[in-house]
Amino acid sequence: MKLLLIFSLLISSLFAHPHTFIDIHPTVKMINNNKFIINFKWMIDDMTSTMLMMELDQNGDGKLNKKESDYAKEEYFSIFKDYNYYTYILVKGKKVKFPVAKNFKASMQNNKICYSFDIELNQNIKDTVFEFGDTDFYVAMILKKEFVDTKGLPFTVTGVDNDFYYGYKLEFK
Amino acid sequence: MEYYAKFLHWLIALQYQLNSYISTTIRSLNDENSLSTSLLILGIAFIYGLVHAIGPGHGKALVALYFTSNKSDYKKAFKMGYMISIIHAISALIFTFGIFYILKTMFRKNFNEFSDIAMQISAIMIILVGIYLIYEAYKSRKEKEKKLKKSNKSEIAVAFSAGVVPCPGVMTIVLFCIVLGQTTLGILSAIAMSIGMGLTISLAGIFSIAMNKKAGDTLNKKAYILEMLGGFLVLTLGIFLFLSFHK
C-alpha cells in the first residue's frame, strides 16, 4: 500500500498541471459526403492572453494586425504542431494525421486571444471523431456543447478517459 | 484509472472557473469597490492556490517521500508546507519582477528559459536531498542505539528543492495585475495563492506521516530500510526530473 502510494506520487509528480485554458469552438462546413472543413477557434484564457499580448501586440494598440498575426503563427502557433494541436482525429477508430492548418489568423476578442484556423478532411464526417486534450497536462483544452456549430448536423460532446488526463470527444451522427 | 481521470477533470473544471473568475474580478476593480473586490480577489486566489496544488506537481511527492523516510509529527508537515509556499511565492515574485522589469520584451520566452533553469536547480537539489537521506539512513543503522538528532538542514533543503521552481500560475496572476496597474494586489494575490498551496502541500506531508505511523512496530524495527527506500525514491525522482531536460 505504502509503495503504491509512493509510486503513484512519484509518477504524478512528473506531470504538470494546467496553467493555460483554451476554449475550442469548432464550426463545420460540409463540402460533400466525403469532404468537410472544420474551422477551429481557440479562445485563450484572459490571463495567458494578457501575457502573450505583451509580446505579440508590437504596436501596443490592443489588437493584432496582419503582421502581428503572422508573428503569432510563426513563433507560437507553429509550436502546437509538435503537440498535434492537442487534437487527435480518428476515422473509423483509427488515428489519422492532423491535416495542415490553413487560413490562420490571430485576433483579440473580449480580452482573449483567438487563434482561428481551418482543417480539411477527405472523409465522411460521420466516420470521424475528434478528441481533444493535452497529454502533458499543461494546457487544458475545454470543449462545451454550446461551443460547437455543425450547421444542424447532430453531434455529441463527451468526456474521454485517457488514463492520466481527461479529454473531450466530439462525434457526429 | 477512470476515477483518477474524472478527479483530474473535476480539478481542471474548477480551476477553469476560478481562473476565469479571478481575471474578471481583477478587471472589474475600480475606485468605488476597491477594498471589497480586492478582498474577494485574495479569497479567490487562496482557493485557487489550494485547488491548483491538489493537481500533480508542487513538490507534494517530495514532501510525502521525505516524511516517509523521517519520523516526524504533524506540526513539521505544516512547517514544511509553509516553507515551500514561502519559497514558492518569493521565487515567483523575483522571477516575474526580474524578467518583467529587466527584460520586458520577449517575456514569455525568457520566462520559459528561466523556468527550465529553476527546474534543473530543483532536480539537482532533489538528487542531493536523496543522497543525504540515504546517508542518514545508513548512519542511523550504524548508530542504532544512539538517537540521532535530525538537523533542520534536510528540511530546508527539501523545502528549497520543491519551492524554487516558480509556479507559472502564480506568475501569471502577478503579471496580469502588473499589466492592469495593480502591482500591490498582484503581490498580495501571489502570497494568498501560495498560502493556499502551502496548505495542500502540508496535507500531503500529514498523509504521509499518518501512513508512516500506521506502519507499526514491525516496520519501525527496520526503520532504516524504509528510510533508505525513501532516500532512493527521492534520488530517483531527482534523476527523472533532471533527465527530462536532457532528452
The predicted structure's pLDDT at residue A135: 78
**pLDDT above 90 for A77:** yes
Is the CB of A142 less than 8 angstroms away from the CB of B16?
yes
Is the CB of B106 less than 8 angstroms away from the CB of A55?
yes
The predicted structure's pLDDT at residue B42: 95
The predicted structure's pLDDT at residue B19: 92
The predicted structure's pLDDT at residue A103: 96
Tell me the residue range of the domain where A93 lies: 16-172
Dist CA A45 CA A48 (whole Å):
6
> What does the mean pLDDT of chain A come to?
87
The predicted structure's pLDDT at residue A24: 97
Alpha-helical segments (H) within A30-109: 46-56, 66-75
Nearest by Cα to B51 from B201, B225, B227, B207: B201
B12 touches chain A (CB under 8 A): yes
Give the position of cell 488514463.
A163
pLDDT in tens, A21-44: 999 999 999 999 899 999 999 999
**Residue A52 belongs to some domain of the structure:** yes
**Residue A2 belongs to some domain of the structure:** no
Which parts of chain B sit beneath pLDDT 50? 145, 147-148
B218 touches chain A (CB under 8 A): no
**Residue A35 belongs to some domain of the structure:** yes
Task: Provide, rounded to the nearest whole percent, the portion of chain A with pLDDT above 70.
Answer: 88
**pLDDT above 90 for A132:** yes
A108 touches chain B (CB under 8 A): no
Of residues B215 and A17, the one with the higher pLDDT is: A17
The predicted structure's pLDDT at residue B148: 45
How many other C-beta atoms lie within 10 A of the C-beta of residue B150? 14
Integer CA distances (angstroms), A169 to A35, A81, A111, A164, B200, in order: 20, 20, 27, 16, 31
Q: Which residue does chain A place closest to B212, by CA atoms?
A: A2
Alpha-helical segments (H) within A14-145: 46-56, 66-75
B-chain residues within 8 Å CB-CB of A140?
12, 15-16
B-chain residues within 8 Å CB-CB of A54?
104-105, 107-108, 175, 179
CB A124 within 8 A of CB A156: no
Dist CA A5 CA B153 (whole Å):
26
Residues in CB range of B138: below 8 A, 6 or more apart: B224, B228
Q: What angle do CA B160, B72, B227 make, to 5 degrees?
A: 80
CB B69 within 8 A of CB B133: yes
**Residue A6 belongs to some domain of the structure:** no
A-chain residues within 8 Å CB-CB of B227?
none
Indicate the residue of B2, B9, B68 with minimum beta-carbon distance to A6. B68
Give the position of cell 483544452.
A141
Dist CA A79 CA A101 (whole Å):
12
B188 touches chain A (CB under 8 A): no
Indicate the residue of A13, A140, A166 with minimum beta-carbon distance to B61. A13
Indicate the residue of B2, B59, B176 with minimum beta-carbon distance to A161. B2
B-chain residues within 8 Å CB-CB of A2?
68, 211, 215
The predicted structure's pLDDT at residue A8: 37
The predicted structure's pLDDT at residue B71: 64
- The pTM of this model reads 0.77
**pLDDT above 70 for A165:** no
HSE-up of residue A124 (Cα within 13 Å, Cβ side): 6
Complex prediction ipTM: 0.82
**pLDDT above 90 for A113:** yes
CB A164 within 8 A of CB B7: no
The predicted structure's pLDDT at residue B110: 54
A47 touches chain B (CB under 8 A): yes
Alpha-helical segments (H) within A29-131: 46-56, 66-75
Is the CB of A51 less than 8 angstroms away from the CB of B211?
no
A-chain residues within 8 Å CB-CB of B52?
17
User: N- to C-terminal Cα distance for chain B?
Assistant: 28
Indicate the residue of A2, A50, A137 with minimum beta-carbon distance to B211. A2
Q: Which residue does chain B place closest to A48, by CA atoms?
A: B172
- Helices B183-214 and B74-98 pack at an angle, to 10 degrees, of 150
A-chain residues within 8 Å CB-CB of B177?
none
Dist CA B107 CA A54 (whole Å):
7
CB A69 within 8 A of CB A52: no
**Residue A11 belongs to some domain of the structure:** no
